[in-house]
Amino acid sequence: MTSPIHNNRCKLLVLDLVVNKTSIDDLRTFFTPYGPIEWIETFPGSTSAIIYFVSYLIVDRLVNYRTCLINQNNVRLRRFRLDENNWHIDSQTLYVKLTTPAYSNYVLTETALRNCFQDYQSHILKIDLIQDNQALISFSNYDYVDQILLMPSNTFIIDGVPLVFEQMPNKIKKKSRWDQTLAPLSTLPVLSVRDPVVHKLISHIEYLGKQLRGKRIGFII
């Protein structure tokens, strides 16, 4: 008996279909040369279809094409996405959350994330740490996000806890440590001022503040 994860990896999403131009028979005729097909499903009123192949290796090959032309209909080829609302969205950003127990003082770090995603290290563009042990990881290609979301939940573990993923971080506002509400300069910790970078930033802010207080600002429309 195959697992749901294996089943999902064998599914190819076909997007942007013109339903009155392309039938299930058309899809079967076009894709069968790439490998045996178990079944094809279309959806009333939708521009999408799912093609289930006997092997995920066929899907791996087809998604590399990204698009194809079927009966003069240019369609997109994508891996199966669990959230139907995101079927048509190509997101290069993966939202990550580490749900640690209440008694744990663990703080998610960029180093820990890079170690966890070491197989994708060369494809990571940047990691943005945000509050409450959450992060946004930007990849060079949306397909890496799609691949990760189809993997078993215990594939990526930090401090003994599996990471929670989402394709699109719509539920949270991107807020890095540099975006936190600034305290008045007089109340900033002395330790922060000792940091050369922070000291330079604070000095620049103070300089701009004096300039704004001493001059009248004009606006050009």
Report d(CA 7, CA 79) in Å as an integer.
12
Report d(CA 122, CA 114) in Å as an integer.
10
pLDDT for the residue numbered 42: 92
Q: pLDDT, tens digit, for every residue of 46-88?
A: 899 999 999 999 999 999 999 999 999 999 999 999 999 899 9
Instruction: Look up residue 174 and give its two tokens.
Output: 């991107």
Q: Quote the strand ranges of the chain, DSSP E.
A: 11-15, 37-42, 49-53, 67-70, 73-79, 93-98, 124-130, 134-139, 157-158, 161-166
DSSP bridge pairs for 52: 11, 39
Q: pLDDT, tens digit, for every residue of 98-114?
A: 988 877 888 999 999 99
Q: Where are the alpha helices (DSSP H) in 69-221?
A: 110-116, 142-149, 190-194, 196-214
Half-sphere exposure of 118 (CA within 13 A, CB side): 6
Separate counts of helices (H) and strands (E) for the chain: 7, 10
Q: pLDDT, tens digit, for every residue of 176-204?
A: 333 344 444 444 444 444 455 555 556 66
Q: Are 8 and 59 in contact (CB under 8 A)?
A: no
pLDDT for the residue numbered 129: 96
Q: 106: closest CA among 97, 95, 94? A: 97
Q: pLDDT, tens digit, for every residue of 129-178?
A: 998 899 999 999 999 999 999 998 889 999 888 999 988 644 444 443 33
Q: Are 105 and 112 in contact (CB under 8 A)?
A: no
Report d(CA 145, CA 50) in Å as an integer.
19
DSSP bridge pairs for 67: 76
Measured over all CA atoms, what is the biggest interatomic distance in the chain, rounded to whole angstroms? 76
